Structure 1
Amino acid sequence: MAGKLKAPTGRYGGKSAQERQAERRRRFLDAGLQLFGDSPGYRATTVAALSEAAGLSTRQFYEEFRNLEDVLAALHLQVNDWAEEAALSALAEADGRPVDERTTAAFRAYAANVTGDPRRLRIAFVEIIGVSPRLERQRLARRSRWIDFICGEADAAADRGEAAPRDYRVAAAAFIGSVNGLLHDWSSGWVDATLDEVVDELVQLLLGVLRPVWWRVERT
């Protein structure tokens, strides 16, 4: 009886089969970042166009992904991972500093990362919207992760006496909604302000969440 075919495992061109597969996947994702995040956008891109941009075949595409939505899903997670790594790095560098300095450093690092490449901004705040129930679940799950991130920092600041002791989940969700909405509108050209002005406004909003007026009055 004929045996089941196995994927090649030998080395070719100095690279293993796993390394070649990872390289192909990266080339498809790089092409997706360009086409989805710039022109023509996710909805106007075809598998053939993406494969051509990656310098690979459509057959190779279907060996890595089921469809273009899989590429967009992977890019959305990658963009968020990059931004989270930037925020965590900034927090580590600001370790031991007051909460306002830590908050400012972390959010500025996040904003610089996600807006430093306009393609990332479009992936995170424009192209992901309204694609499918699956991607909407992914988007909300990632938003929930950002809410947990903020709540963790807020609770730690409250334990140090630097922020109001309270449940931050609703406030964090409201802040994340403000970030998503404002950065989306700014990237679309609807908000007449510089990125620094937008970031400053969002930082002040977050500091207001951590240090509301009622808490500052109680401490005086």
Structure 2
Amino acid sequence: MTGRLRKATGRYAGRTAQERQAERRRRFLDAALTLFGGEPGYRATTVAALSEAAGLSTRQFYEEFRTLEDVLAVLHLEVNDSAEEAALAALVETPDRPVAERAAAVFRAYAAHVTGDPRRTRITFVEIVGVSPRLEHQRLARRARWVDLLCAQARDAVERGEAVDRDYRVAAAAFIGSVNGLLHDWSAGWVDASLDEVVEELVRVLLGLLRT
């Protein structure tokens, strides 16, 4: 009897088919974080190499993803989501603090997250750039989320009397670009400063934009 192979749906070793599939997908993503975010990098990684690093087969890869670009897209979103969660958590923990203290807490949390693992830094600032129109759109869309977050905090600062009332969107876009560039250069060893010094400089730039 011929036909297309179907994924198993029953339990095996106490786990459902969905649980086994999620584990395989996670293994591919973890292996991709190491290969894309380290050596040899996304552009030099093959499906076969990724599958070998994950301890799985290429057939299993194509059951979970269409292309390596799909894997990179998922990783990029995961890294950004977790960095955003860290930044928002810092805001929640400093609701009534002055704007300078809130800004320092947010950027310290964000910077510590994206630079805490060099692989995440490379995924965020290096490997995602210029891959395809699709991933450029995703990268810029995620940057726009950070701009929106910064604009929302600027409006909050205005309402508190801590900032001048004006349109902050262009300034926010410029600032986010500076954040990305500085953290990339710092992680690459091109900036001779501690992470705290980098965060302090970013906070000074931000406060200058707010014209407190």
**1:162 CA drift (Å):** 1.6
Structure 1 residue runs without a partner (length 5+): none
RMSD (Å) for aligned C-alpha atoms: 1.6
The 3 A distance-change label for structure 1 pair 197 and 41 is: same
TM-score for both structures, normalised by structure 1: 0.91
Shift of the 4–40 alpha-carbon distance from structure 1 to 2, 3 Å rule, reads: closer
Structure 1 segment 73-88 matched on structure 2, within 5 A: 73-88=73-88
Which whole-Å deviations, capped at 9, do the CAs of 1:76-133 have from their partners, x for residues lacking one? Answer: 1111001000011111111121111111111100000000011100100011111111
Task: Give the whole-Å Cα distance in 1 for the aligned partners of 2:177 and 2:3.
Answer: 54
Alignment partners' CA distance in 2, 1:121 and 1:12: 37
Aligned partner of 1:101 in structure 2 is 101
Give the 4+ runs in structure 1 shifted more than 3 A.
Answer: 2-7
Secondary structure of 1:163's counterpart equals coil
Partner of 2:123: helix, strand, or coil?
helix
1:66 corresponding residue in structure 2: 66
Provide the residue aligned with 1:47 in structure 2. 47
What is the DSSP-based 3-state SS (H/G/I as helix, E as strand, rest coil) of the residue aligned with 1:12?
A: coil
Distance 2:89 2:178 in 1: 23
Q: CA deviation at 1:154?
A: 1.0
Cα distance between partner residues in 1 of 2:173 and 2:180? 11
Q: Is the 8 A contact 2:154 2:168 kept in 1?
A: yes
Aligned partner letter, 1:73:
A
Aligned residues with identical type, % of pairs:
76
Counterpart mapping for 1:1-220 below 5 A: 7-210=7-210, 212=211, 216=212
> Normalization by structure 2: what TM-score?
0.94
Aligned pair count?
Answer: 211
Q: CA deviation at 1:13?
A: 1.4
